[in-house]
Every structure is written in C-alpha cells, then in structure tokens.
Amino acid sequence: MSEHLSSELVYLDNAATSFPKPEGVYDAVNRFIRENAGSPTRGIGEGSDETNRLLDLTRRRLASFLGIRKAERLIFTYSATDGLSTVLFGLLDEGDHVLITPLEHNSVLRPLDMLASEKGVMFNILPHDYTGRVYADSIRDLVRPNTRLIAISMVSNVLGTIQPYKEICEVGRKLGIPVLLDGAQAAGHIPIELDKWGAAFFACPGHKAMLGLQGTGILYVNEDYTVRPLRVGGTGYLSESMKHPTAMPQYYESGTINMPGVASLSAGLDFIESFGLEKIDLHVTALAARLISGLMEIPGVVIYGPKDTKDGHGGVVSFNIGEHNCTTVGEILAGKYRIANRVGFHCAPLTHRLVGTLDRGGTVRLSIGVFNAAEHIEKALAAVQEIATTL
C-alpha cells in the first residue's frame, strides 16, 4: 500500500486531505480535462453527453455507496462546509434550538454562532464522556419544544472518537427531530447507510478518505425535508424562467458543477470498492492502535481521546510532549524527519476545551489513510521518541 509514497516523505495528515490519490484518480481527472468539452446539463454534442452521463452515473454510485435510495437527493457541493452551511442556514430560524456534541468542527460551530447573533438560535452540548462521546439516551432530557436539529460529527477530527451515530439517528427519528451527520472523517473509512439509519442530512468532503479532489463535497437531504438553498442561479434547467427550479437535485446545484472533481470521485470510489471498505476500516484502525500503543510507551507523551480501539477508532491521533509547544514538535517532525502532520486547534475549539489544550496551543495531530503502512507508523514513533528525548 505504500508504493505511491516517496521513500522519504511520511504523509500523516490525511484528516486534512488524503495523499497520495489512487493512480486511477490522476488518470480520470487528466482524461476528463483533455477529452470532455461539455458542461453538465448544458450544451449538445458528444462532450456534453459524456459529461452528463458521468454526472448521473457518479451520483447514482455514490448514493448506493452511502445507502441512499433516491439518488436525486444526493447533491454535489464544493466542500463539507458548503453542505453543512446549506443545512444550518437553510433550516434554522428565529429562536430555534440545536443539540450538538463537544467535538464539532467550526463548519458547524461558526454558522451556529452567527445564527445565534442574527436570529437568536440557541444550542446545547449533549452529555458525554472524557473522549467526547455523547450519551444517546440523554437527548430526550435536553429536547425542548423548539429543538429543530441534532448535529453530530460522526468521527472527531482531533481525537478519533466515534460517536454513536446510529443510536442518535434512531432517537432523533422517534422524537421527530432531524439529525445532521458530519461525515468528514467517516466517509471512505467506515460503512454508511443513511436511509437505514434514518439520517435527515449528511455532508462530507470528497478530498479526504473519498480520495477525490479538493473543491468537492456531497450533501444528502432526506426526502422528508427541504431546506433553503445556500445559492440560487443558473442550473441549465428551465432556463426560460426567472424562478429557481424546485426539482431535485437542481434546487441545490446552481452554477457549474466541478466535473473534474466528479471524475475524481468516481475514480476514488472505484478504488475504495475494489480495495474493500471494511478492509480499509480495519487497516486504518489497526495502524491507529499501533500508533497509540507506541506513543503511550514514550515518556512525556500525552495522548488525547480514546486509547482503546477495540470498538473502532478514527484514523486520527492527537498528542503533546510534556509542556513543549505543539508547533515546535510539529515543525521538527516535518522538517527533520519529513513526517507530514498538523498542529494547533484543527478548527475544533470545543474539543480542545474538553481535553485541556485550548490554553497551550492545541495538539500535534497524526492522521492515517489507506496508503499508510506499518513502516510509516514505526518511523513516526521513532521520531517522536527522539524528539521527546532531545527536547
């Protein structure tokens, strides 16, 4: 699995964006740019016909992959943030109430903060354990008459904590409260069955474990819900009317879709399906387990989040070395050892408040992808051991 990597670079920043991509992704994007002259839902001719075919086929394949029965309810966006903002700004109104976890990304927190200022939207954090994993049965105790949404990050981008998303969807369904799933660190790593779970909304990026290009994303809106679109305009559909079309998916897909990105998602899905999603999940979890166990053996290293991976773990591990600044550690890892990582708050301030790293600059984060191998983890552990000794 490591044949794509440079013999020098150890890439452990997959939670930010996956690298490398499968060869099929590079080939698909290159081929699309060179051979397809059409814009989706616009134009007549071979180029447009092939573009429309690819768009329709990729939409249907992704819908099946995510457990969505009606493919027209799957929308192509520009990022997970784009999809999350569509739901939050399009659904919530004056005085609404939202339940969230302590592990949410700023893609949820910042819209909620803005909506709190502009519309008086309120939100509460669900009860949770020390890893940020919430108790699904506590939802009923915090529901109010004006509770309009439950927003859940399926897998923490800082701690690797996996939320009980199936149970939360079930509780939300029984209470009649829609559940928004942020699948940024889940899609492409763990099996997802949105209709089976009863999820109302789901958003994820295309460039992380889905192995596509940056500037791509997916939004699912359950047929029982309609939210105001984030943008309106040209769709190539009913162009004679000034009124925005209400048909799906055009209702949410104004502007020209990133078709090289769609081609990359199709090729990324080819790789995931050929490799096997369950195999990917087991592979990433096993490497995370080894990274955690190895870090725990290094004096002075503090690991944040769940340390037991038997019930699953995201491919994300955060740590610090003693009182040393995380940026210093991360720069040494990247500069001296050529180990790509991320440092700081990772766009999740509430998570750092939970684990006590808000006042110390955050954490060093190593994040694992499908193309990582055991040798990469061992190199990272050896580097951290050396840094902990020399610092």
- Write out pLDDT tens, residues 240-269: 777 777 888 988 988 889 999 999 999 999
Could you give the C-alpha distances from 208 to 199, 260, 367, in angstroms and in order? 21, 16, 11
Burial of 138 (0-12, 13-18, 19+ CB in 10 A): middle
Whether residues 268 and 193 share a domain: the answer is: yes
CB atoms within 10 A of CB 123: 20
Q: Which tens digits make up the pLDDT trace of 174-184?
A: 999 999 999 99
Q: Are residues 233 and 356 in the same domain?
A: no
For residues 28 and 177, state if they share a domain: yes
Domain shared by 93 and 226, yes or no: yes
Q: Which residue has the higher pLDDT, 315 or 242?
A: 315
Among candidate residues 101, 68, 114, the one with its CA nearest the CA of residue 185: 101
Put simply, whether the predicted model's pTM sits higher than 0.85 gets the answer: yes
| Domain limit, last residue, from 217, 241, 274 | 274
Q: What is the CATH number of the domain that holds 296?
A: 3.90.1150.10
Cα-Cα-Cα-Cα dihedral sign, residues 154, 122, 108, 244: positive
Q: Which domain holds residue 261?
A: 23-274
Q: Tell which of 250, 274, 298 closes a domain.
A: 274
Instruction: Give, in degrees to the nearest 5, the angle at Cα 307 between 170 and 300.
Output: 150
Between CA 80 and CA 254 the distance in angstroms is 16
Same-domain status, 139 and 175: yes
Instruction: Answer whether residue 205 is part of any domain.
Output: yes
Domain end among 256, 274, 292: 274
Same domain, yes or no: 183 and 109:
yes
Q: Which position has the higher pLDDT, 41 or 191?
A: 191
150 and 294 fall within a common domain: no
* Claim to verify: residue 332 and residue 220 sit in the same structural domain: no
Between the CA of residue 297 and those of 301, 303, 319, 382, 388, what are the distances in Å?
8, 11, 13, 11, 11
Same structural domain, 266 and 281: no
Residue written as tokens 């791509």? 216
**Co-location of 208 and 285 in the same domain:** no
- Give pLDDT, residue 45: 54
Cis upstream peptide for 191 (omega within 30°): no
Number of domains in the chain: 2
> Do residues 229 and 90 make contact, with C-beta atoms less than 8 angstroms apart?
yes
Q: Sorting pLDDT into bands at 50, 70 and 90, what band is 356? A: very high
